[in-house]
């Protein structure tokens, strides 16, 4: 199937893209590498897919781009692009939430309503519920799709508005929309504003963990592969018009999750308790009855397993960030560099660009080869990645002048 994935360079989007390609689908990914967090993390997310013959990246802004090209022949739209983050959605930044969550979703629905899609999947959020699960005595209930929703953050308001838009287009235009409400997703590649990413980062940098509130807030942490499994199943399952919770199935308090992370990392962490953040809900526990009924799905990855995988990924990620910082700082000239090898890499690069250009011009006469169209569409990312790999290899292979003179 030909599938459009918006937000393909993001945390969930990149895992999903990898999975769809593995399943043999053709994927058009749209992402504008929004500045909410580093472009470099998103490039790393996408790098393994960039040269895949069935993947095409369109770097563009969904708020302004023309959709004709990406919607042509598309059978399924999976709309993950958006402005995430609960706590940052107050104040002036609300504009970003308005544009990237509401307006972009409306545009995409409007533009694709005539396309006879097989499915339009929208990434909704547990944030639409707010604190509706908290009973009078403070007891927490599971959150079910039938409950009245009452977002507690501007972010949640925008996610709910976009959900409503999807349902409107389902009713009025018979678009086969489904809204999946994800619950605090985690795993390798997690966004840097999210709790586990920040906690792992603090441990690795030997800093105290910042805990908002008393740490007793409950989250139904959901491993990213489980989320991807559900999205994948939603392409073909009979779920048009539905709203479905996607929760991890083993909710716990934030402090319980921290204890688990301490065990995994073999560290006892210092903790700084800060004020509760506006917009943060007390508890999210997903009722997954509907998820199980519609998809026959139960989450597979336990918090211990998922957190271990994120920890392992974070160790490498932090190391690569440090390497990049060192390269950018360019403190000392590097000696012992194999200039011949670099010249060869550059020559190869030039040659491959030439081949891509030639293939592109041939494409006017016949169907372009997937490799050629990839190379012409994504030369910058590929070249930049290769150059950075080369630079990193050089840096670790060659001692700098200062190291030598100090040693």
The verdict on 126 binding ligand UGA (CB under 6 A) reads yes
Which tokens in the block code for residue 271? 């903790």
**Catalytic residue from among 36, 97, 129, 155:** 155
CA 305 to the chain's CA centroid = 20
The verdict on 285 binding ligand NAD (CB under 6 A) reads no
- Please identify which residue in 183, 223, 295, 311 interacts with ligand UGA, judged by CB under 6 A: 183
- For residues 122 and 272, the answer to whether their CB atoms sit within 8 Å is no
Residues 325-331: contacts with CB within 8 Å, 24+ apart?
326/395, 327/388, 327/391, 327/392, 327/395, 331/400, 331/402
Which tokens in the block code for residue 232? 């994948």
Report the residue number whose CB is nearest to ligand NAD: 10
Q: Which range, of 119-127, 162-170, 299-307, 335-343, touches ligand UGA by CB under 6 A?
A: 119-127
Considering CB distances under 5 to 8 angstroms, the limit depending on partner class, which of ligand UGA, ligand NAD, none binds residue 211?
Answer: ligand UGA
Longest CA–CA span in the chain (Å) reads: 73
Q: Which range, of 2-10, 205-213, 373-381, 390-398, touches ligand NAD by CB under 6 A?
A: 2-10
The verdict on 227 binding ligand UGA (CB under 6 A) reads no
- Distance of closest approach, residue 210 Cβ to ligand NAD, in angstroms: 18
The verdict on 158 binding ligand UGA (CB under 6 A) reads no
Which tokens in the block code for residue 95? 């504009």
The verdict on 100 binding ligand UGA (CB under 6 A) reads no
Distances in whole angstroms, Cα of residue 247 to Cα of each of 19, 232, 301: 19, 15, 11
- Distance of closest approach, residue 302 Cβ to ligand NAD, in angstroms: 18
The verdict on 125 binding ligand NAD (CB under 6 A) reads yes
Q: Which is nearer to ligand NAD, 34 or 287 (CB)?
A: 34
The verdict on 42 binding ligand UGA (CB under 6 A) reads no
The verdict on 67 binding ligand NAD (CB under 6 A) reads no
CA 190 to the chain's CA centroid = 7
Residues 100-103: contacts with CB within 8 Å, 24+ apart?
100/34, 100/62, 100/63, 101/155, 101/158, 101/159, 101/161, 101/162, 102/158, 102/161, 102/162, 102/165, 103/63
The verdict on 154 binding ligand UGA (CB under 6 A) reads no
Pick from 186, 188, 185, 184: which is nearest to 314 by CA?
A: 188
Question: Which residues have a Cβ under 8 Å from the Cβ of 329 and sit 6 or more positions away?
Answer: none
Distances in whole angstroms, Cα of residue 232 to Cα of each of 125, 229, 235, 245, 375: 17, 5, 6, 15, 28
Q: Which is nearer to ligand NAD, 164 or 354 (CB)?
A: 164
Hey, how many other C-beta atoms are within 10 angstroms of the C-beta on 138? 8
The verdict on 13 binding ligand NAD (CB under 6 A) reads yes
The verdict on 58 binding ligand NAD (CB under 6 A) reads no
The verdict on 127 binding ligand UGA (CB under 6 A) reads yes
- Please identify which residue in 211, 301, 303, 307 interacts with ligand UGA, judged by CB under 6 A: 211
Placement of tokens 């440090």 in the chain = 322
Which tokens in the block code for residue 318? 């932090």
- Distance of closest approach, residue 197 Cβ to ligand UGA, in angstroms: 8
- Please identify which residue in 33, 199, 311, 317 interacts with ligand NAD, judged by CB under 6 A: 33
- Please identify which residue in 280, 321, 323, 394 interacts with ligand UGA, judged by CB under 6 A: 280
CA dihedral 222, 223, 228, 233 (to 10 degrees): -60
In angstroms, the CA 42 to CA 29 distance is: 13
Q: Which is nearer to ligand UGA, 85 or 299 (CB)?
A: 85
- Distance of closest approach, residue 392 Cβ to ligand NAD, in angstroms: 23
Respond yes or no: is residue 169 known to be catalytic. no
The verdict on 254 binding ligand UGA (CB under 6 A) reads yes
Q: Give catalytic residue positions.
A: 155
Residues lying near ligand NAD in the complex (CB under 6 A) = 7, 9-13, 30-34, 36, 42, 61-63, 80-82, 84, 100, 104, 123, 125, 159, 182, 184-185, 191
């Amino acid at each position: 199937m030909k599938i459009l994935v918006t937000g393909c360079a993001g945390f969930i989007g990149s895992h999903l893209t990898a999975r769809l390609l593995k399943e043999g689908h053709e994927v058009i990914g749209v992402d504008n590498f929004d500045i909410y967090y580093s472009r470099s993390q998103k490039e790393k997310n996408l790098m393994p897919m960039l040269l895949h013959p069935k993947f095409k990246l369109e770097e563009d802004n969904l708020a302004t781009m023309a959709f004709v090209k990406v919607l042509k022949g598309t059978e399924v739209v999976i709309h993950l692009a958006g402005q995430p983050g609960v706590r940052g959605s107050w104040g002036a930044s609300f504009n970003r939430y308005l544009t990237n969550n509401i307006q972009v979703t409306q545009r995409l629905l409007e533009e694709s309503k005539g396309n006879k899609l097989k499915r339009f999947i929208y990434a909704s959020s547990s944030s639409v519920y707010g604190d509706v699960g908290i009973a009078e005595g403070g007891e927490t209930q599971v959150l079910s799709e039938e409950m009245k929703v009452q977002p507690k953050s501007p972010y949640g308001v925008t996610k709910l508005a976009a959900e409503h838009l999807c349902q409107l287009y389902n009713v009025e235009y018979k678009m086969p929309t489904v809204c999946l409400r994800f619950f605090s997703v985690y795993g390798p590649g997690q966004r840097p504003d999210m709790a586990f990413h920040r906690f792992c980062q603090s441990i690795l940098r030997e800093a105290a963990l910042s805990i908002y509130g008393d740490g007793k807030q409950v989250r139904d942490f959901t491993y990213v592969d489980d989320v991807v499994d559900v999205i994948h199943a939603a392409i073909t399952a009979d779920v048009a018009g539905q709203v479905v919770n996607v929760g991890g199935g083993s909710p716990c308090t934030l402090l319980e999750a921290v204890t688990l992370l301490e065990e995994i990392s073999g560290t006892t962490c210092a903790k700084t308790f800060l004020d509760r953040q506006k917009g943060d809900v007390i508890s999210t526990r997903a009722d997954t009855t509907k998820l199980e009924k519609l998809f026959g799905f139960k989450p597979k990855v336990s918090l211990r397993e998922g957190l271990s995988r994120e920890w392992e990924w974070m160790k490498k990620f932090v190391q690569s960030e440090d390497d990049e910082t060192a390269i950018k700082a360019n403190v000392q000239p590097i000696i012992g560099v194999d200039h011949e090898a670099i010249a060869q890499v550059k020559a190869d690069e030039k040659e491959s660009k030439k081949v891509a250009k030639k293939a592109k011009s041939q494409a006017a006469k016949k169907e372009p080869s997937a490799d050629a169209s990839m190379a012409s569409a994504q030369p910058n990312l590929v070249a930049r990645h290769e150059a950075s790999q080369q630079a990193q290899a050089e840096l670790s292979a060659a001692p700098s002048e200062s190291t030598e003179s100090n040693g």
